[in-house]
Amino acid sequence: MSTYGYIRVSTREQNEDRQLIALREMSVPEQNIYMDKQSGKDFNRPQYKKLVKKLKPDDLLCIKSIDRLGRNYTEILEQWRILTKEKKIDIAVLDMPLLDTRRGKDLMGTFLSDIVLQVLSFVAENERTNIRQRQAEGIAAAKARGVRFGRPPRPLPENYHSAYLRWKAGAITGTAAAKECGMPLSTFRYRAEIYENAPLFLER
């Protein structure tokens, strides 16, 4: 029997130390620890796939919590079935002793584990949904405050003011003005709208 560990963090900025410490306390060999820095929305993760290929019957897989395995209710249950029924391995969820397939292998123990697994899988997916909703609400609130997202616009070329004034006066076409400034016509018109509303425009 070999012992393996799996770690997942959602982004490269998140710290995996807490999970790593927990796996080391379970004496999981360093070479048997696999880690993905990826969303838990599905199981299309390179290190997880590599881990599953390595697993053999009676091996033990340790994870810190069920949401580190994934955050999709249906897919968590399916992966659990694949790992325990097809791969015939044991799984230990370290922060939930009831989700340790080495214990309570009788009918009652299996029944309780299945209930806990379904509840926690639902909680994991529900939290993922809540996170996305909070992000959307935060972005909407920031936009309402005037916060702009995305790349900052490039500085206007030095001749933009002159080309803009001649275009507004009808001396040249928008196409000609855009060409002078080295930008597409749509960009010239878009920047013109911003330019007109800029406080410095009145001072120039």
Counting every residue written for the chain, the total comes to: 204
Q: Report the greatest alpha carbon distance in the chain.
A: 88
- Give catalytic status of residue 10 as yes or no: yes
Identified catalytic residue from 10, 27, 39, 113: 10
Cα 141 from Cα 134, distance rounded (Å): 10
Where are the strands (E) in the chain, listed by range?
3-9, 33-37, 60-63, 90-93
Reading the block at residue 44, the tokens are 């299309």
Residue 104 φ/ψ region, left for φ over 0, alpha for ψ in the -120 to 50 degree band, beta for the rest: left
Q: What are phi and psi of 172, to 5 degrees?
A: -135, 160
Question: What positions carry a catalytic annotation?
Answer: 10
